[in-house]
Structure 1
Amino acid sequence: MTVSFEHQVAIVTGAGNGLGRSHALALAARGARVVVNDFGGQRDGTGGSSQAAQDVVAEIEAAGGTAIAHGANVADYAQVSDMVSHAMQQWGRVDILINNAGILRDKSFSKMDIADFAAVMDVHVMGTVNCTKAVWDIMREQNYGRILVTTSSSGLYGNFGQSNYGAAKMAVIGLMNTLVLEGAKHNIRVNALAPTAGTRMTADLLPADIFAMLTTESVTAGALTLCSAEAPNRMILCAGVGGYATARIVETEGIFLPETEQNPETVAAHFNDIQDPHGQHELTNGGKQGEKFLAKAMAYVQSQQRQ
């Protein structure tokens, strides 16, 4: 099956450099009309210039594709709304949104200024919220949408010096989980990409030979799969250096303790049973956890009544 984006419109945020640029070029090469969004700031989010986005548009057009540039700051909903309005005026629909824009302000938590924490949260979390909110009703009305959020291994597993970035990258997973439920009946599928790539975000963090292996193209191959008509739903796809895997949030089957044993000593004594991975599985919504525990409680009550 050939993945094509003919007649579709895609918005890619942070598309002036790195992964966003790679995503935008690949979408355009496969037929999409692309809004190349980039605020043009530095890696820490300061500054701003439209040149990077315009350069990507020129590259797309030189290859025979169609694109427009927009310099919206994703953390500003008014600017994001203007960007989406431009896409609708130009092409009348939005089929794909790739939330890629981000900044880094790394420091250990003890040394991190609260403003640096807030700035990273604002771009990654509220930037994703703003862009998704701006296209949500459009996708609902056209009964089609593919949305990609960008998470990170730093959020899924932690990384020293990135408490702000890690918190933001895990927050977008929580957003995805609920949007999956709310968008399903409108054929809106929402997935997450956890990339490992050599970009300006990681350029000074890795040795040159390792950096060269971390191509953006290998990550983009995964990103486009998650944006296609046959995309899965609620997948966290990890991609980098040609490797692909999925990350999953699972819950163990756990145990039930009767009221007389519900104390910290007994809970601690049963940690091995509580953590036993046998039977662990993904939950489709938050209510399933409560249902499981209630079922265990009811089974216990019934067993006592039979005695």
Structure 2
Amino acid sequence: MTDIRFDGRVAIVTGAGNGLGKTYALELARRRARVVVNDLGGSGSGTGASAMAAELVVQEIRDAGGEAIANADSVATREGGNAIVQAALDTWGKVDVLISNAGFLRNNRFEDLTDQEIDPIIDVHLKAAFYVGQPAYRAMRAKGYGRILFTGSASAMFGHAWQANYAAGKGAMLGLSNVVAIEGSAYGITSNVILPTASSRLEAEMTPGFMEIPEFAKAFQNADFSLAQERIGPEFNTPLALYLVSEACTATHGVYSCNSGRYARVRICAAEGWVSPKGSVPPTLEQIASNFEQICTLGEYTEPMTPYDEFTSAVKAARKQGVYP
């Protein structure tokens, strides 16, 4: 297999001063990408700021013979997002790759979450994806090529107690990426979501309070972590992340999981379900109740890639069930 390289490509990695983002930036540079290493330099809970984190990664890249610049603008403001992208344009004249990775945690019970625990999380995950993503997308569209990778989380896709704020921000990446993938398909731009699993400094923000939820605690206690030993470092996520933003990868509109060295596509699908009787009268609640098991049974399923695909799959199910000819 031919080596996958990024010669001549310009990549922006947000939150690249530590953890996942740092491994992405280092490997991109090793494979000859020119990298904007963005990091505000805050803590795992999003407090404080320092340019040092980004500068140290840039120095490591340059010491190894690579090209990189440091940027400490905040992804959580439109001005900061524009400045990050403009740094790439001013230095190298284009943007080919965006890995939207910056983030932090502020855990609490759903009912106890304050505005100070909700707003900054939404800002750094959801709004930042727009603030950096929009100017990057415009630059990519102008050149007819781009690769965008948004960072989601298993906490959003599958659920994690005491992380309603984080899950809401990360879950939004799915909807955002799906739309960017559809619109970007006209301009050579792909968009995907990665669900990384990594041991990082964010673990310090993971209080054990979530163990108060019996069923969730049971899932944690019964989980088999044997594969995870020595396989949950940030670097185990890097190969998939970089493949998804490489020229070699044309996949788009997808969600991909990394866990303990297992890489898998995560799909949103629709069961065949139950089709209500023919005609213009909606079913009753009682009819829904009596057919709920069939509604929930996966059976033959479809994977709608647009809302309109679901109309087509509904007709297919209706015909199969004899409701419509």
Q: Please give the TM-score of this superposition, normalised by the length of structure 2.
A: 0.88
Q: Does 1:240 align with 2:259?
A: yes
Q: Does 1:249 align with 2:268?
A: yes
Q: 1:298 to 1:251 in 2, by over 3 A?
A: closer
Could you say which residue in structure 1 is the equivalent of 2:12?
Answer: 11
Could you say which residue in structure 1 is the equivalent of 2:29?
Answer: 28
**In structure 2, what is the Cα distance between the partners aligned to 1:261 and 1:42?**
53
Q: Is the 8 A contact 1:198 1:211 kept in 2?
A: no
Q: Which amino acid aligns with 2:302?
A: H
Gaps of 5+ in 1: none
Could you say which residue in structure 1 is the equivalent of 2:307?
Answer: 286
Deviations 1:205-240 (A, max 9, x none): 59xx96854111110011001011122112211113
**In structure 2, what is the Cα distance between the partners aligned to 1:298 and 1:67?**
57
Could you say which residue in structure 2 is the equivalent of 1:218?
Answer: 236
Q: Which amino acid aligns with 1:246?
A: R
Could you say which residue in structure 1 is the equivalent of 2:289?
Answer: 268
**In structure 1, what is the Cα distance between the partners aligned to 2:143 and 2:281?**
55
Deviations 1:90-122 (A, max 9, x none): 101110000000010000112211331121111
Could you say which residue in structure 1 is the equivalent of 2:101?
Answer: 100
Gaps of 5+ in 2: 208-225
Which deviates more, 274-283 or 155-164?
Answer: 274-283
**In structure 1, what is the Cα distance between the partners aligned to 2:133 and 2:229?**
31
Q: Is the 8 A contact 1:198 1:212 kept in 2?
A: no
Q: 1:172 to 1:20 in 2, by over 3 A?
A: same
**In structure 2, what is the Cα distance between the partners aligned to 1:219 and 1:297?**
42
Could you say which residue in structure 1 is the equivalent of 2:48?
Answer: 47
**In structure 1, what is the Cα distance between the partners aligned to 2:312 and 2:193?**
27
Three-state SS of the structure 2 residue aligned to 1:41 is coil
Three-state SS of the structure 2 residue aligned to 1:185 is coil
Could you say which residue in structure 1 is the equivalent of 2:179?
Answer: 178
Root mean square deviation of aligned Cα: 2.2
Q: Is the 8 A contact 1:218 1:241 kept in 2?
A: yes
Three-state SS of the structure 1 residue aligned to 2:237 is helix
Which deviates more, 213-222 or 175-184?
Answer: 213-222
Q: How many residues align?
A: 302
Q: Which amino acid aligns with 1:250?
A: C
Could you say which residue in structure 1 is the equivalent of 2:130?
Answer: 129
Q: Is the 8 A contact 2:14 2:101 kept in 1?
A: yes
Could you say which residue in structure 2 is the equivalent of 1:59?
Answer: 60
* Cα distance, 1:204 vs structure 2: 6.3
* Cα distance, 1:17 vs structure 2: 0.4
**In structure 2, what is the Cα distance between the partners aligned to 1:237 and 1:260?**
40
Q: Is the 8 A contact 1:215 1:240 kept in 2?
A: no
Three-state SS of the structure 2 residue aligned to 1:101 is coil
Three-state SS of the structure 2 residue aligned to 1:4 is coil
Three-state SS of the structure 2 residue aligned to 1:198 is coil
**In structure 1, what is the Cα distance between the partners aligned to 2:182 and 2:263?**
25
* Cα distance, 1:291 vs structure 2: 3.8
Deviations 1:153-189 (A, max 9, x none): 0000100000001111110100011111100021100
Q: Which amino acid aligns with 1:26?
A: E
Could you say which residue in structure 2 is the equivalent of 1:277?
Answer: 298
* Cα distance, 1:72 vs structure 2: 1.2
Q: Does 1:72 align with 2:80?
A: no
Q: Is the 8 A contact 1:128 1:149 kept in 2?
A: yes
Could you say which residue in structure 1 is the equivalent of 2:92?
Answer: 91
**In structure 2, what is the Cα distance between the partners aligned to 1:288 and 1:216?**
36
**In structure 1, what is the Cα distance between the partners aligned to 2:157 and 2:99?**
19
**In structure 2, what is the Cα distance between the partners aligned to 1:155 and 1:170?**
5
